[in-house]
Structure 1
Amino acid sequence: MRHFSEAPLLGLSSSETVTVKAKPHWQGHRDRLRTKLIERGADALEDYELLETLLFAFIPRRDVKPVAKALIARFGALSAILAARPAELTRVAGVGETVAAYLKATAEIGARASRETLQARTVISSWSALQAYVKQQLQHEGREQFRVLFLDRKNQLIADEIMGHGTVDHAPVYPREIARRALELQASSLILVHNHPSGDPTPSRADIDMTREIMDALDALDITVHDHLIAARSGVLSFRSQGLL
């Protein structure tokens, strides 16, 4: 129901009134939330409030709090929302293809910003940045994905490339293809990365054997494998820190 207020205006007799439409309740909420973010910083906002401020731009003329809360209820975390496929996002009431596309664009901006941060540093000495990047890229991936971070002589990132897609528990990996690509990029070293959709980053026997096969293929080319990282929802495991390299 729309609410209207009646009040006499300057120049009108007491018997004359005009009808003024009241501001929608959600518009005042948007103003308050934007002020809170600007004056107190983004850290002062709850997850659903931060998501609301993002949705303000995508859904300009309606209350987006229910949409934000529905997204968090469906996916459980902001990182999972941004990692979700468009088809999964549009199953949430209030999220159409346009909003899903904007959310995916937002996720890609964050990923590229993280990659830029990593490229500006010596990768193997920036463990926290590397771990955050790997976790962001893979922790919510529903299928196993095998990636390789190719590094130059200064151990700075040349490229991050997907070398294998798989099922929920296996991704095919071809050591010769990794070696060929390393030569094409003139990489001096690399870091292997893959995910465990199960949520447990503990390496399997197959993970360990496959890592050894890749290292053997690269030894003859004088290309070093610095580490093999396994990403999962519970964290990122390093083969080197576990004494597996």
Structure 2
Amino acid sequence: MTAAKPAFKRVLLKLSGEALMGDQSFGISPDMMKYVAEEVKSIHELGVEVAIVVGGGNIFRGIAASSYGMDRAPADHMGMLATVINSIALSGALEKIGIPTRVQSAISMHEVAEPFILRRAVRHLEKGRAVIFAAGTGSPYFTTDTAAVLRAQEIHAELLMKATKVDGIYDKDPVKDKDATFFPRVKYMEVLEKQLNVMDMTAISLAMDNNLPLSVFNLSGKGNIFKVVTGAKDIGTLIDN
């Protein structure tokens, strides 16, 4: 049996904060964190350079707080700090199973994370360290999806992997509508025109402008991250031109 070979040399994995809750209604599930770390290890062992962007929705969502009358800019800054908490937790889980990591924050907090410096991030990746980009873009009004596309472009990742709670992209919410149609492959423009809720429109537009392929897949399927990186055709949805 031939060993699986990666189809990509460098990837960026986007995780939602909600994914880290597991079965909980809030916070970080230690079991889920361990599971995610093991999934990342499966591709790290192939020699793939892995960068990660984590959301903060399991702790605080800026856009949700702004809908209750809070000013959007400070609400988003609180959301960014939530992503730092998640990033430090994920770093610890990865280090525990032998994967060297670095957390780089778009907001300066030298005691807990490196500042985001592109050349340093790329050097870490080249040395086999997983790099976790925290605090989004560092600016309010931008989601962590947009931050993920931006960082993927900056480090020249060959693929952005968005891990979700469903198997890929559907025309409707498959949890609520059993007649939802699944798209194994879709173009950026279709995502924008049909308003398929996979990422915010800014993130999709930025990916389209730079021809960054996106893979959307179910995080809970054990081995799915490995399958996507080794080029399996039957996992999730691919968005490209």
| Same-fold status (TM-score > 0.5) | no
Q: Please report the TM-score for the alignment, with normalisation by the length of structure 2.
A: 0.30
Structure showing the higher helix proportion among its residues: 1
Larger RCO of the pair (alpha carbons < 8 Å, separation 6+): 2
